[in-house]
Structure 1
Amino acid sequence: MQATVTLLQTALLPDFPSGSAIVYHQDKLYLVGDDATYVRVMDTQYQEIARIPLFETTVPRIPKAQKADLEAAVIREWEGVTTLLLIGSAATPQREQLISIPLSNAGTPLFYPNPLIPALQQAGLTELNIEGATIIGDKLVWANRGNDTHRTNHLLVTVPDIETTAAPISLTMIAVDTGIKDTPLFTGISELCYVAQHDLLLLAVSVEATANAYDDGEIGDSYIAWITNVSTRLHHRALTCDGYVALGAVSEVLKQQKIEGICVESITADSWILHLASDNDAGATGLFRISFRLTS
């Protein structure tokens, strides 16, 4: 399969730091930043509609040593309520938390320790860095990003109601090869998005020169990769992406953007409309609306 991508719209949010995840639900976009104090709710033209407060602080960016490092977000039905689940990277003890936000009536965020940490450690992951998540059927699938030292990405398959499931929590770990051959640098998964209509998993993949899950590094290019028939392959021990597109080849604007968020707004017979969020490690967030088309 080949992908055709067209850049439709861009926006820079200098007042929203470190965009790390973006999800779409009922004509709204929910933007998360790894050191931001709130979730920004926007329309599909990137105009702010509302804010969901998360942390009380007097500074616009939570200091690196203190931040929850919220790197992944999913919309799911939980106990009969549509919720936005935010997941910390788990790279440090401060980042081992989940936040569940009921979306009806702008519910109060509920904070939980991440109960999957013991299972992840027992599974043999050398270093935790949760960077993506999505719902596939009745499973919650996370992405653990590798780095220049630990050069393997993993999908972590578990239950969706992670907060209330009694231990021990079931876990399947799948090594993922992004399949990207046009760079010698390590390409790490930075977000997931499941497209149920086509049983296809989109992966935001980016290059960042860092030897661990804590430090930032020089930013390279980003890609969108995909895995087909993914719901039938979640029992595999290893997967290789079936294809990818280099975003830097689409537009100069997309070169050396660290894409950390990806979501689908709409799907038609001709193309899909996707939204991407980037983090420039300097306190701003880039947003990109693209047309995405897969052909065999």
Structure 2
Amino acid sequence: MNISIENIQTIVDFPSGSGVAYINNKIYAIGDDSPYLYVINSDFKLDKKILLYEENQENFKGNRIKKKRKMDFETLEVISEKELVIFGSGSKSPQRDMFFRVLLDKNIIVEKYSISDFYDLIRNSDLLKNEELNIEATAFANGFLYLFNRSNNVIIKVFYQNFLESLKTQEKPNLSYVRVPLPSIEGVEAGFSGATILRDQTFVFTASVEATDDAYNDGEIMGSLIGLLDFSDFEKPKVLKFRNISNLEKNLKVESVAVISTSAKDSELVLITDDDQGNTELIKVKISE
């Protein structure tokens, strides 16, 4: 698997990029300490910002929401050309137990939900009851939503319509879980940071390593990788290929990935990075399988 970097662009006035999606020549992106959904054109220029929720000005430091107050948006995924979903990480309850549904009609509709009950189901599961919850990625495929927990690389699978219904009925949706061993960087197993569907039964994912012992605090960035994950058998997912993402100047903390185009030979992707100092870069890459 080869990877080539085609374009790198810092996005001005966009702090702490954490999630990215691609629909109809537009890039949608979120930051973990920002209340906005950013809309970026194909030239990597900011077109507009969509306010997801109101935050008191006293809770900001510059253009970033203070760490103890932020909802910690970490995942952004496309459901359809008219629908995006955003999840908080769940790493601090209840303020990070949040779900946003964005309907991209002429008049944009933003639905906001507290999902502490849903996250508590996950926290109390066999694979996670002794681990920290830190949802870093979501992927949507064949009607199912897949949530990727970073701390021990567990994927949670839920039928999307059942999840939506549970927000209104309080009925518990059926969940399936699996742990996926990932490659290591400098001897440390990488943790999921982003994922999306590449093609039928295959996810493209990003993972990274930080020198930190918990889900709340940031640490030194040790590197990131990109890979392909076969989930045709959910109980036995398999990492097909992977490659470290290198940058001669610094180790990159890649937070998420979106697919621009894909073919049998190669795929064009956009990555979003965060240096934990409030800066965001978008990187266009091509991977050849």
2:233 is equivalent to residue 233 of structure 1: yes
Deviation at 1:14, TM superposition (A): 4.2
Q: What residue ranges of structure 1 are gaps of 5+ in the alignment?
A: 147-151
Deviation at 1:107, TM superposition (A): 1.4
2:261 is equivalent to residue 260 of structure 1: no
User: Size of the alignment, in residue pairs?
Assistant: 275
Q: Quote the residue 1:160 is aligned against.
A: 160
Equivalent position amino acid for 2:280 in 1: T
Q: Quote the residue 1:137 is aligned against.
A: 142
Deviation at 1:98, TM superposition (A): 0.2
CA contact (8 A) 1:112 1:163 kept: no
Secondary structure (helix, strand or coil) at the match of 2:283 reads strand
Deviation at 1:157, TM superposition (A): 0.4
Secondary structure (helix, strand or coil) at the match of 1:164 reads helix
Equivalent position amino acid for 2:149 in 1: N
Q: Aligned partners of 1:233, 1:18: CA distance in 2, in Å? A: 34
Instruction: Choose which of 208, 218, 221 in structure 1 pairs with 2:220.
Output: 218
CA contact (8 A) 1:69 1:95 kept: yes
Q: Aligned partners of 1:181, 1:72: CA distance in 2, in Å? A: 23
Q: Quote the residue 1:170 is aligned against.
A: 174
CA contact (8 A) 1:119 1:169 kept: no
Q: Aligned partners of 1:181, 1:32: CA distance in 2, in Å? A: 27
Question: What is the CA RMSD across the aligned residues, in angstroms?
Answer: 1.7
Equivalent position amino acid for 2:98 in 1: Q
Secondary structure (helix, strand or coil) at the match of 1:252 reads coil
The normalised TM-score by structure 1 is 0.88
- Superimposed CA distance per residue, residues 214-273 of structure 1 (whole angstroms, 9 cap, x where no aligned partner): 111111110002112x2x211x1x54422210111xx425x4111001010012344211
Equivalent position amino acid for 2:217 in 1: D
Q: Percent identity?
A: 26
Equivalent position amino acid for 1:138 in 2: G
2:45 is equivalent to residue 47 of structure 1: yes
Deviation at 1:182, TM superposition (A): 5.2
2:277 is equivalent to residue 275 of structure 1: no
Equivalent position amino acid for 1:246 in 2: N
Secondary structure (helix, strand or coil) at the match of 2:121 reads helix
Q: Aligned partners of 1:171, 1:27: CA distance in 2, in Å? A: 34
Deviation at 1:127, TM superposition (A): 1.3
Q: Quote the residue 2:132 is aligned against.
A: 127
